[in-house]
Amino acid sequence: MRLLHLSLLTAALTLPACGDAADDELATPRTPLSDELAGDWFTGSLSTIQYYDRTTGEWQDPSGSGFYYILEPDGRYETGAVIDSTVAGCTMRLLGTEVGTMEQDGDVLTVHRHWVRVHVTNSCGNSGERVQGEATSRLRWSVAPDANGLAWLTLTHDDGSVETYRPWTD
């Protein structure tokens, strides 16, 4: 399973709620991202990839499930997940969003997470919001077209897990 997905789920289920996650100034290091890498990427079936308002702290109600990355040309990023699950009569929805900065060195990205916020609703309990602070990780990236000419972003983690994303289009 993908590392991002696992970390969001782990944060949702195990972290205590903590302070404000304002991101007025991301003080972590960053470099400009290449034109090929910068952009909005997603996988799954999402109605929107903008479901958390960082100014108001309000969560929206997207439909579908999936994962996304918004990679800004200046090295800032946002990533997140929408996961809906029903098991044994219990319905759980996880909305997660993470912001930070990246340093690009060829095909290697050093990811400096500023914060991750996870909002969970669970019809059988354990609903709430969790926040986790700074962390650093590394990824290898590539962009390549599929047989139909659609570009796909591939992110490979140090543990060998792989995530793939296609460009987001409205």
Task: Express each pLDDT in 74-94 by its tens digit.
Answer: 999 999 988 887 788 888 888
Binned at pLDDT 50, 70 and 90, residue 153 comes out as: very high
Residues contacting residue 63 through CB under 8 Å, at least 6 positions apart: 46, 47
At residue 4, the pLDDT reads 42
Confidence band (pLDDT; 50, 70, 90) for 2? very low
What are the structural domains, with CATH classification, of the chain? 3-17+29-167 (2.40.128)
The answer to whether 107 and 144 are in contact (CB under 8 A) is: no
pLDDT value at 65 more than 80:
no
Q: State the pLDDT confidence band at 169, using cuts at 50, 70 and 90.
A: confident
User: What is the C-alpha separation between 22 and 161, in angstroms, rounded?
Assistant: 30
Mean pLDDT for all residues in the chain = 81
Q: Which of 29, 5, 12 is nearest to 130 (CA)?
A: 12
- Residue 35 is given by DSSP the state T
**What is the pLDDT averaged over residues 20-36?**
76
Which residues have C-beta within 8 Å of that of residue 30, sequence separation ≥ 6? 74, 75, 76, 101, 102, 103, 112
